[in-house]
A and B are shown apart, each in its own frame.
Chain A
Amino acid sequence: MVDLSIDVAGLRLKNPIMPASGTFSEELAEVFDIECLGAHVTKTITADLRDGNPTPRVCEVGGSMLNSIGIPSKGVAAFLDKVVPFYRAYETPLVVSISGNTADDFARLCSEVTVEGVAAIEVNISCPNIEEDGKAFAIRPSSTYDVMRKLRQATHLPLWAKLTPNTGETPEVARAAQEGGADALVVANTLLAMAIDIRSRRPKLGNLMGGLSGPSLKPIALRMAYQCAKSTTIPVIGCGGISTAEDVIEFLIAGASAVQVGTATFINPTAMVTIIAELERYLEREKLASVRDLIGTVIDEEQKEGVVFMEAAP
């Protein structure tokens, strides 16, 4: 019997597989028993009511997808009344994803969702900070540190900072998140991308651009997860294009303690169930007692810091 359990900043998860925010909701419980998951991660909410972006909100690009949903939100009251109680029927820890337009809005919401039944808060700092120049908090170390400080003061719950691949300063942002008070890093959100219909010459998304997710994002997210694990001392949760148990193992070897599965669930709604079963079989086959024995076991020899943290393709 192999041990799939892991510890993420004091939170015990029965296995390292959880959904990525925005690709999971109560509806998936109509397909399989979601109690089997390591954690439940909700779609990002904001304090304000939001309709979201114009359609089309999705298109596919060479075996991956672009989306621009725009975080539609029914607000915090509806979330606390309807969504949180649904998950109380499960023992699986509930991780609530939140976002805000300003650091103060963000912190207020963080405090409001610090309620019974919530085990950790994932702070989506990959969203635009409208007080500065509209660039995501997590693009720069300074804005990352500032928003994390305010969030840290707003809750006693574990804070998972969700980073963006749209930065050229991954290790610096990761360190700033830890210094600002993050207990774990989720690496990473979608990559800003675009597609145009060559017949109509119109962008394929109603919002012009959107986030790339799916298999083509995986090597980028893996590189970032590796860099974040190398540059901080807090757990890293890998996220980006993970579709198979092999992908999960690759992220664990790179240094991630757990992973989030996103777009793969849209293709195969039971992808996470399959991954958990195959991960268990892999450990048995490899005669590994615990999934924890894989974490950070990449054989990268004694690489120079300049190589580990490089932000340009060599």
Chain B
Amino acid sequence: MTNALTKPASAIGGRAEPVVFERELTVLANDPVNGEYMRLVLEAPRGLLELCRAGQFFNLLCPALGGETPYLRRPMSIYGFYPDKGELHFLYKVTGAGTRALARLREGDALNVMGPLGQGFRIDDDWQRLVLVARGVGLATLAPLALEANRLGRHLTAICSARHPDVLMSIDYFRELGATIVPVTDTEGTSSIAHLETLIEEMIAGEGVDAFYTCGSNRLLTLLQTIGKRHGIPGEIALEQQMACGLGMCHCCVRPFRKGQKTVQLRVCREGPVFDIQEAMPW
């Protein structure tokens, strides 16, 4: 699959040019978004931001702060990138030593980042009506897709799932970018797979759907694979895995994928983190 949004692969038989950068960036802001999530805003050079694509990630060298001593870099998907403003945004939940250290960063501090890395989302020229379905922090990974759809003038419907309406992420962000929002929550009983299937079938029967995007959830993956097969609608999924190098050298971050009759191990950092939805395997 060729991807119009990806960076060129290493040239065989010729020297590769640097396309990944290790940089010390300055923290502009690092504030709680709601009870569970933090948004980190870094000042970044325009040249670096112009290389970024929706769905790509950076490998962050989390600082030794607050008694934490994270060692390996932490991969984090891009939440937003703004070449005009000179800003790179990440959204994260504080869960371990790396994110606890990140949460202690203050305005003016430096953070070493490496990227942009991996293959971003594919939006083919004839994909006009896009539907993203995601839950929780997965909405952060899919947020730049809304930015990209907006830039390309495509229509995006975002089905945003959460436990209850208070923790629904990125809804305002999606709305500002002209996306149609369909919130579904556990407390309102609207987030079940059966209900989602009905909703999506109605969209397909109505104005139609050209492509699906999702991440993070086994149940959503299986649902979109089924609907996609039923109607011949393509889709993509952003996946995660423990990483070390982030570049493709160490082969730590593999996951299994279906390629025809075979199962192959692909590197989430290199061949991904965005993959064809039909090739992804439930875990």
Contacts and interface: CB of A to CB of B under 8 A. Distances in A.
B16 interface: yes
A51 interface: yes
Given A30-B10, A31-B18, A55-B241, A269 B114 contact: yes
Interface stretch (B208-216, B228-236, B250-258): B250-258
A64 B270 contact: no
A198 interface: no
A28 B61 CA distance: 17
A219 interface: no
Contact of A23 (B71, B245, B254, B255): B245
Interface residues of A, number: 42
B69 A266 contact: no
B13 A85 contact: yes
Contacts of B12: 82, 85-86
Contacts of B4: none
Contacts of B61: 267-268
A44 to B, nearest CB: 11
Interface string B126-141: 0000000000000000
Interface string A264-277: 01111110000000
A195 interface: no
Interface stretch (B19-27, B143-151, B194-202): B19-27
Contacts of A64: 71
A52 B251 CA distance: 9
A4 interface: no
B10 A26 contact: yes
Contacts of B10: 26-27, 29-30, 86
Contact of A72 (B13, B22, B70, B254): B254
A56 B242 contact: yes
A25 B249 contact: yes
A106 to B, nearest CB: 21
B249 A214 contact: no
Given A64-B71, A266-B72, A267-B73, A89 B242 contact: no
Contact of A60 (B17, B22, B72, B270): B72
11 contacts: A28-B249, A30-B18, A30-B20, A31-B247, A35-B15, A51-B265, A69-B250, A88-B13, A265-B245, A266-B250, A269-B245
Interface of B: 10, 12-22, 61, 69-73, 112, 114, 241-255, 265, 270
Closest CB pairs A-B (n = 10): A29-B16, A58-B252, A27-B248, A57-B252, A27-B247, A60-B71, A25-B249, A266-B245, A30-B20, A26-B10
